[in-house]
Chains A and B, each alone.
Chain A
Amino acid sequence: ETGVTQSPTHLIKTRGQQVTLRCSSQSGHNTVSWYQQALGQGPQFIFQYYREEENGRGNFPPRFSGLQFPNYSSELNVNALELDDSALYLCASSPWGGDFYEQYFGPGTRLTVT
């Protein structure tokens, strides 16, 4: 069984640029959620995708957007990067209608904005 994978591992961008992060969900999981984790803090929910549509969103501006593909993989796009966007971005997958409390997280992508 393949776990959740994310790419790239690390990324350095300049303020104002755009970035795309990628996530492959665990086999059999059709729901993907994205979280932002600033240094020393707990993860904060960005949004979730199910059946290629956004299915819930946290308190993040519209410049944070996403996609889910037919194979359930997902992308997180952030436009007009700000210094405060520097964080670990985590992807989590789960089966819809299953035991939703148990989400499976990937190792994350460390984004640094300079």
Chain B
Amino acid sequence: LAKTTQPISMDSYEGQEVNITCSHNNIATNDYITWYQQFPSQGPRFIIQGYKTKVTNEVASLFIPADRKSSTLSLPRVSLSDTAVYYCLVGVAPNNNAGNMLTFGGGTRLMVKP
């Protein structure tokens, strides 16, 4: 499985856009990039997944350059409730029961301040 590297922590203020970058230099051709969010005392929650270019949903955007060796999770106009740990995962593909294990790293602790 490809190893991921993310910043340990980030600070932001309400209303700002937050970009969290994840490095995955050894990503394989069939690997997808998935992001999870975890609030204190809760289980992780799926945010977004992508393979290349840009993916956007109601929560976030995911930017993946052509070489796919990194990806950036973008959270528009964060609020205090976005304070959480964000995990970047590589290797889990849709409809792939063989890759049925989620491998989490240490994640990025985002603190949103008023």
Assuming the contacts A42-B87, A96-B97, A107-B41, asked whether A101 and B46 have C-beta atoms less than 8 A apart, the reply is yes
- Interface contact A101-B93, CB-CB below 8 Å: yes
Does chain B have a CB within 8 A of A72? no
- Interface contact B95-A108, CB-CB below 8 Å: no
* B43 / chain A contacts, CB cutoff of 8 Å: 4, 90-92, 105-108
Interchain nearest-CB distance for B105 vs A (Å):
5
- In angstroms, Cα B42 to Cα A105, docked, is 8
- In angstroms, Cα B54 to Cα A97, docked, is 25
* A25 / chain B contacts, CB cutoff of 8 Å: none
- Interface contact A31-B101, CB-CB below 8 Å: no
Does chain B have a CB within 8 A of A103? yes
Interchain nearest-CB distance for B85 vs A (Å):
8
Residue from the list B49, B87, B93, B100 in contact with A56, Cβ < 8 A:
B100
Does chain A have a CB within 8 A of B76? no
Quick one: closest A residue to B45, CB to CB? A105
- Interface contact B42-A108, CB-CB below 8 Å: yes
Interchain nearest-CB distance for A63 vs B (Å):
20
- Interface contact A100-B46, CB-CB below 8 Å: no
Q: Interface residues of A, CB < 8 Å — how many?
A: 30
* A7 / chain B contacts, CB cutoff of 8 Å: none
* A41 / chain B contacts, CB cutoff of 8 Å: 106
- Interface contact B105-A58, CB-CB below 8 Å: no
Does chain B have a CB within 8 A of A44? yes
Within 8 A of B (CB), among A18-72: 31, 33, 35, 40-45, 48, 55-56, 58
A/B interface sample: 20 pairs, CB < 8 A: A4-B43, A33-B100, A35-B102, A42-B87, A42-B104, A42-B105, A43-B44, A43-B104, A45-B101, A92-B102, A99-B95, A100-B100, A101-B102, A103-B102, A105-B42, A105-B44, A107-B42, A107-B43, A108-B42, A108-B43
Q: A48-B100, A48-B101 are in contact. List 17 more A-B contacts (CB 8 A).
A: A35-B102, A35-B104, A42-B105, A42-B107, A44-B104, A45-B103, A92-B43, A97-B97, A98-B95, A100-B92, A100-B94, A100-B96, A101-B92, A105-B42, A105-B44, A107-B42, A108-B41
